[in-house]
Amino acid sequence: MDRLQQHQPVKPRTSLRAKRATVMIEVLISAAIMSICVAATVSTLYFSHRTSTRAVWIGVAYNLARQKVEEVKQQGFYNVAEATVASPVTEYYSAAMAKQGSNNTATQYIVTTSVVSDATKSGVTPTAPTDTALRTVTVIVKTKTTGEVLCTMYSYLARSGI
């Protein structure tokens, strides 16, 4: 038996300092992995918040554009003033879709409306469409802060309707 005991490999003794170093490396590696996971989670949350906020903006912009098109249709073919794309009618709205002044701090949306006829009566002031004209209504909704176009909507007016 003594011979067997002599031939068994001797386990090296690990010092306390080496054990502490190993634990410290394990802690650092786990902290690095956790920080990567937290960064990914925060990035995902920021992206989803930004996406849902933008969806709200686009939803409000669509509703404002639709509301403006319906207002133009309610006025009727002859009663809507001609407003070119170069000089459209501009209105300002809050996030709650309430009409605001241009300098109001609550203003978040700029709604521009243009109505252009393909044929107008000559010599008439103000400009008036002919009975056979097709009138194109263009509504553009932008943010006030960045000027980003959120919604563009088109509609047409004909004397007898479409």
Q: Which of 15-24, 42-51, 100-109 has the highest mean pLDDT?
A: 42-51
Residue 33 lies in a domain: yes
Residue 92 lies in a domain: yes
Using CA atoms of 86, 88, 93, 95 in order, give the dihedral in degrees to the nearest 10: -50
Residue 3 lies in a domain: no
- 9, pLDDT greater than 80: no
CA 111 to chain centre: 16
Residue 58 lies in a domain: yes
Q: Which domain holds residue 138?
A: 13-158
Residue 2 lies in a domain: no
pLDDT single digits (tens) 23-67:
888 999 999 999 999 999 999 999 999 999 999 999 999 999 999
Residue 5 lies in a domain: no
Q: Tell me how many domains the chain contains.
A: 1
Please name the residues in contact with 57: beta carbons below 8 A apart, sequence gap of 6 or more: 143, 150
Instruction: Identify the CA nearest to 90 among candidates 26, 126, 140, 29.
Output: 140
Residue 142 lies in a domain: yes
Instruction: Identify the CA nearest to 116 among candidates 83, 74, 141, 158.
Output: 83
